[in-house]
Amino acid sequence: MARKIRVLVAKPGLDGHDRGARVIARGLRDAGMEVVYTGLHQTPEQIVEAAIQEDVDVVGLSILSGAHMTLFPRIYDLLKENGAEDIMVMGGGTIPEADVKALIEGGWAAQIFTPGATLESIVDWINTNVNLN
């Protein structure tokens, strides 16, 4: 039997908007994934440490504070420094289209979901893009 996909849902930054993160965490769990939720106010260092320790396939960042252009690159770089660049970084939040494009084209995020995305579309994306080998 194939193992389950492991996801770290993380809330970097100082804001406390955790509605999205918690809905997604529960939705991914209900879709059969193993989900770890970091809780609020995590630094990039704390998130990367948790991702490596929990041996996850995907890190999902929920950012509604406008700090996405700082946080995505920082977390990506830290994963790389720690030899964990195989962990996929995705995210969601209040992120303008132009920034979504810049983050994906820059390689800092594999995918970003913005308001209105369904749980199914997120689950499908993870199932399609995570390689369980």
Partner 1 sequence: MTQKKLDEIKAAGENWRAKRSKLKDRDARFETVSALPVNDIYTPEDLGAFDYMKDLGFPGEYPYTRGVQSNMYRGRLWTMRQFAGFGTASESNERYKFLLARGQTGLSVAFDMPTIMGYDSDHPRSLGEVGRVGVAIDSLADMETLFDGIPLDKVSTSMTTNAPASILWCMYLATGEKQGVPSDKLTGTIQNDILKEYIAQKSWIFPPHPSMRLITDIFAYANKHVPKWNSVSISGYHIREAGSTAVQELAFTLADGFAYVEAGIEAGLNVDDFAPRLSFFFNSHIDFFEEIAKYRAARRIWARRMKEKYGAKNPKSWMLRFHTQTAGCSLTAQQPENNIVRTAYEAMAAVLGGTQSLHTNSMDEVLALPTEKSVQIALRTQQIIAYETGAANVIDPLAGSYFVEALTDQMEAEAEKYFEEIERRGGVLAAIDQNYFQQEIADAAYQYQRAIDKKERYQVGVNEFVDTSEELDIDLLTIDPEIERKQVESVQKLRRERDNNKVQDTLDRLRVAARGSENMIPCILECVRAYTTQGEIVQALREIFGEYKEKPTF
Interface ranges with partner 1 (CB under 8 A): 9, 13-19, 21-23, 25-27, 29, 35, 37-41, 43, 65-67, 69-71, 74, 94, 96-97, 114-116, 118-120
Q: What one-letter code names the amino acid at 74?
A: R
How near is the Cβ of 39 to partner 1 at its closest, in Å?
3
Residues 13, 40: Cα–Cα separation, whole Å: 8
Residue 50 or 79: which CB sits closer to partner 1?
A: 50
Residue 45 or 132: which CB sits closer to partner 1?
A: 45
Task: Find how far residue 57's CA is from the centre of its chain.
Answer: 10
How near is the Cβ of 76 to partner 1 at its closest, in Å?
14
Residue 41 or 80: which CB sits closer to partner 1?
A: 41
Residues 128, 72: Cα–Cα separation, whole Å: 22
Helices (H), the chain: 19-30, 44-53, 68-81, 97-105, 119-129
